[in-house]
């Protein structure tokens, strides 16, 4: 997706993401983040008087937040990572900081002598061409608008430091490395996982924090439409996709509804909430090269929310039956109009329980009259949400 639509494929997918996969870390973005942090915490910086900060990041941002926590645990109170990529394993005797410093020096001077890093002029034709291009570019620095991923100096720096870090795929399977305990204790890693035949590609890859929280999300097909065919337009690009369960929107909506359930009943566990979510709908995701034939788990959260609303707000439960709308189509989970309604209704119940509070969302002793009679056939699956006892606070 292009920048005007909220993305930057050229520098993210074709740049940093590929770099993590092949070279283990997003070296260019990490070097930039390190420079920025040094400026912020340095004399006169906006964070010069701050003792610590909180980091958070999603996907590539999660990768950067985690590595920055490793580099500067003294500056960090806590770090929350959502569906983030891990990092590649670092060669024995070397450190991330040492390799970032080497990257910066090689970016400035392809002939830089970096202690512990072998930087010799190549003899093969491809390597020699990369070296000569980097030398020529060093004498004629690119403009500020230039992408570092098109830079010959960047490619040369990666060539030199490449032997000292493994790509993400190798690190996922073979590394055996872990994050330093001081930094690891500050990082919470949250990832989404659907109930039915879901898997991860970016999340749970590489060297990861040890504290991980799995969160229920509505399942999406592995792919929909001919995602491997070159796009002909921006509209065409948005009509097909793959690995959509990586989306932070799915995580955010699920977490928002979980928070509501725990606000209503402080004793209910995440496991019980997710059981309610999973049982709320019989829709499942199925992939298809024909986008119109693919199916989506589109309404689990909406139905779980309505079950709660109908029990807590009598007018809604008995009279109006205003179902929370959902979009059953491709990427329907991101329908902003329906998401606004979804979150407005969460806020509605949250305001209600500020004056009146409820407990015990899973008491089977309460009568069947609290169930939505249209869904009697699902009662065995909805036992977790069977009764609500109301107490005036």
Residue 157 pLDDT more than 90?
A: yes
Q: What is the pLDDT of residues 28-69, one digit of tens each?
A: 999 999 999 999 999 999 999 998 999 999 999 999 999 999
Do 255 and 346 form a contact (C-beta atoms < 8 A)? no
Domain count across the chain: 2
What radius of gyration do the chain's Cα atoms show? 25
Tell me the backbone φ, ψ of residue 229, rounded to 5 degrees: -85, 140
Do 144 and 153 form a contact (C-beta atoms < 8 A)? no
**Chain mean pLDDT for the chain:** 81
Residue 317 pLDDT more than 60?
A: no
For residue 207, being part of any structural domain is answered with no
Same domain, yes or no: 130 and 255 = no
Question: For residue 335, how far is the Cα from the chain centroid?
Answer: 19
Matching residue, tokens 């959509």 = 244
DSSP 118-160: ------SHHHHHHHHHHHHHHHSPPPTTS-GGG-HHHHHHHHH
For residue 194, being part of any structural domain is answered with no
Same domain, yes or no: 303 and 354 = yes
Neighbouring-strand partners of residue 78? 54
pLDDT-derived band at 277, boundaries 50, 70, 90: very high
Same domain, yes or no: 169 and 232 = no
Q: What is the pLDDT of residues 11-30, one digit of tens each?
A: 565 567 778 877 889 999 99
Tell me the backbone φ, ψ of residue 347, rounded to 5 degrees: -60, -35
Q: What is the pLDDT of residues 236-260, one digit of tens each?
A: 666 777 677 888 999 999 999 999 9
**Could you say which DSSP state residue 296 is in?**
-
Q: What is the pLDDT of residues 199-209, one digit of tens each?
A: 666 678 889 99
Domain limits for position 296: 217-392
Same domain, yes or no: 233 and 347 = yes
Give the global pTM.
0.81
Last residue of a domain, one of 184, 206, 230: 184
Q: What's the count of helices (H) and strands (E) in the chain, helices before strands?
A: 14, 8
With b meaning 16 or more CB within 10 Å and e meaning fewer, what string describes 73-83? bebbeebbbbb
Q: How many residues does the chain have?
A: 393
pLDDT of residue 355: 65
For residue 206, being part of any structural domain is answered with no
Give the pLDDT mean for 154-177: 82
């Amino acid at each position: 997706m292009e920048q005007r639509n909220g993305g930057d494929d050229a520098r993210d997918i074709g740049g940093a993401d590929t770099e993590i996969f092949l070279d283990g870390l997003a070296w260019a973005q990490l070097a930039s983040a390190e420079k920025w942090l040094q400026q912020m915490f340095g004399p006169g910086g906006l964070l010069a008087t701050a003792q610590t900060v909180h980091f958070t990041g999603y996907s590539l941002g999660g990768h950067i937040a985690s590595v920055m926590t490793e580099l500067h645990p003294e500056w960090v109170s806590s770090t929350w990572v959502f569906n983030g990529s891990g990092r590649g394993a670092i060669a024995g005797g070397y450190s991330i900081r040492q390799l970032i410093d080497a990257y910066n020096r090689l970016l400035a001077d392809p002939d830089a002598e970096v202690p512990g890093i072998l930087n010799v002029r190549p003899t093969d034709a491809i390597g020699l061409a990369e070296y000569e291009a980097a030398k020529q570019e060093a004498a004629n620095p690119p403009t500020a608008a230039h992408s570092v991923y098109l830079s010959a100096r960047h490619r040369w720096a990666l060539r030199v430091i490449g032997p000292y870090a493994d790509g993400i795929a190798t690190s996922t399977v073979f590394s055996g490395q872990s994050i330093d305990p001081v930094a690891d204790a500050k990082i919470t890693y949250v990832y989404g996982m659907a109930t039915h035949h879901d898997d991860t590609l970016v999340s749970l890859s590489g060297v990861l924090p040890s504290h991980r929280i799995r969160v229920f999300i509505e399942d999406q097909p592995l792919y929909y439409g001919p995602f491997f065919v070159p796009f002909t337009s921006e509209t065409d690009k948005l009509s097909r996709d793959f690995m959509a369960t990586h989306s932070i929107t799915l995580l955010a909506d699920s977490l928002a509804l979980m928070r509501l359930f725990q606000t209503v009943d402080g004793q209910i566990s995440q496991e019980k909430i997710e059981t309610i979510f999973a049982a709320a709908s019989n829709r499942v995701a199925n992939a298809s090269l024909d986008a119109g034939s693919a199916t989506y788990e589109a309404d689990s959260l909406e139905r779980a929310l309505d079950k709660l609303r109908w029990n807590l707000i009598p007018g809604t439960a008995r009279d109006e039956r205003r179902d929370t709308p959902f979009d059953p189509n491709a990427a329907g989970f991101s329908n902003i109009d329906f998401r606004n309604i979804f979150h407005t209704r969460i806020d509605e119940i949250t305001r209600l329980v500020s004056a009146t509070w409820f407990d015990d969302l899973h008491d089977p002793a309460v009568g069947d009259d609290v169930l939505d009679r249209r869904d009697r056939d699902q009662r065995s699956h909805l036992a977790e949400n069977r009764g609500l006892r109301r107490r005036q606070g």
